[in-house]
Amino acid sequence: MTLLSIDWFFILEKIALIAAVLMLSLVVAMYSTWGERKVAAWIQDRFGPNRAGFMGLFQPLADGGKLFFKEEIIPTNSNKFLFILGPSIAMVVACMTSAVIPWGDTLTIAGREVSLQVADVNIGILFIFAVVGMGVYGIMIGGWASNNKYSLLASVRAASQIISYELPMGLALIALLMWTGTLSLKEIVEQQRHGMWNVWYQPLGFLIFLICAFAECNRAPFDLPEAENELNGGYHLEYSSMKLGFFLFAEYINMFISSALMATMYFGGYAFPGMDSLGVSPNLLTILGFFALFIKVLLFIFFFMWVRWTLPRFRYDQLMRLGWRVLIPLALFNMLATGATVLYLHR
Amino acid sequence: MQSLTNRAKPVDRRPMSFVEKLYLPAIARGMGITMKHLFKRKATIPFPEKRREFSPVFRGLHVLNRDEEGRERCTACGLCAVACPAEAITMEAAERKPGEENLYREEKYAARYEINMLRCIFCGFCEEACPKDAVYMSETFPPSAYQRTTFIYGKEDLLIPNPKTGK
């Protein structure tokens, strides 16, 4: 009978947590669009959106409303099923990674330990790789289903870009795994809580991961899949209204999630310096930790935007050369150096 | 070659050093530049609430002036039309009838006075040419419109209100 008995509270707790994390990602992604426009404006000495509400804070709602009410066009010769599937995959995949990110330590509610992590799987990083690798399907299917040569070309480019940058990203993470000795993100954070942040041990690895994260999110200077100059707009050329919105939205969710990942893996996640000597109640500490993580994430998102409005876009051959001839050897070197250090320390 | 200004810089064509090939210092410098712009004074203004002040020499939309008693100053001499390089001004003269002395300052007046704002280049020559101080350029610009014909401004668009009656 013990096999059949279901811990309903556990399920409810996880459902609530999933809903909360999804809502958080959606709201952050929504306001990232606003933030992006504001940052762009500030960097270009403008004001940015300031009409809808205070400081233009209702702008994302207006944009969303516009996208929903726009005419939806599905090209006649496109594969309708795949055409709808493309943006859906992009969106779902973007949201999925949030499951293994520890958003905070445990809360104690009514005697129950509630972990602020949807799934503390011991293969967290592998899961992230599996999911991020699927992100390319959204773009690829979207470009293919449009039945448009230009979208197809752009999506092929996007696919090869994402695959090329997945490799150094993985290699950079392998070095991190060698250092931490675990695949569970929660444990990685706990290690940084009591020691130094991983960025001090893995600066090169972090740099490689950062560059690859930019490329994986299709953010400038690696936003070649959105090739409006040479391929009329990129893989989402044929998309309109909310389906286009999904593609764009997925980009912002990706940005949020990869910011959270970077904060978790290299910048201590929900741990902040001196958190264990504050002497506040564990619940409050968990909440503080969540805010610490959130601030780190917001800083990373700002960094993404800052870079976008500073650096010009790469040329495609430059992009490929950077990925294969610079980042992969660097990541391999980093792996080697980490391996040697770990071996030396444990001898 | 002799340079025209003293700001000419010779192009550095040396091959890049290793540090330069890393690009990261250059990227960091660029990020610094954009970061500085974050805190700079904005070049734009929120338009309908705040309006940028015109410079004292701004040449905006034309007005036809009246004198202190509310009479039209223009005598349809046509000097503005002659001075206009874009040929935007046309007018027809008419003779003042007895009893219209309160309307027109001199014996001749402009029965029709039109400025085509699509042609006008706002050079201000009409203002300079006018011997009667009748045409002035104000500090507004022509409002936008949907039809080209509405850009031909007649007397009713140009004449300033009568200072006495207010119309």
Tokens in use for A316? 């495609």
Judging contacts by C-beta atoms under 8 Å, the chain B residues touching residue A307 are: 31
pLDDT of residue A233: 75
pTM of the entire predicted model = 0.80
Are A306 and B35 a contacting pair at CB < 8 A?
Answer: yes
Across residues A221-249, what is the average pLDDT? 79
> Of residues A236 and A179, which shows the higher confidence score?
A179
- The 10s digit of each residue's pLDDT in B7-37 is 888 888 889 888 888 888 888 998 898 888 8
CA distances in angstroms from B55 to A123, A247, B52, B58, B133, listed in the order given: 67, 47, 9, 5, 21
Quick one: A70 exposed, middle or buried, by C-beta within 10 A (0-12, 13-18, 19+)? middle
Gap between the Cα atoms of B133 and B131, Å rounded: 6
Helices A203-216, A328-346: inter-axial angle, 10-degree rounding? 140
pLDDT of residue A4: 67
Judging contacts by C-beta atoms under 8 Å, the chain B residues touching residue A43 are: 34, 37-38
pLDDT of residue A3: 64
**ipTM of the shown complex:** 0.75
pLDDT of residue A232: 74
- Residue B37 at interface with chain A, using a CB cutoff of 8 Å: yes
- The 10s digit of each residue's pLDDT in A93-116 is 888 888 888 887 777 777 777 777
Mutate which of B22, B23, B35, B38 to disrupt the A interface (most A C-beta within 10 Å)? B38
Mutate which of B23, B44, B45, B49 to disrupt the A interface (most A C-beta within 10 Å)? B44
Size of interface A-B (CB pairs under 8 A): 32
pLDDT of residue B45: 85
Helices A124-145, A149-180: inter-axial angle, 10-degree rounding? 180
- The 10s digit of each residue's pLDDT in B121-155 is 999 899 999 998 889 888 887 778 888 888 899 88
pLDDT of residue A2: 60
- Residue B34 at interface with chain A, using a CB cutoff of 8 Å: yes
Q: Is B94 left (phi over 0), alpha (psi -120 to 50) or beta?
A: beta
B124 to chain A, closest Cα gap in Å: 32
Are A311 and B42 a contacting pair at CB < 8 A?
Answer: no
B75 to chain A, closest Cα gap in Å: 48
Q: Which residues of A touch B (CB under 8 A)?
A: 39, 42-47, 50, 306-307, 309-311
CB A107 within 8 A of CB A114: yes
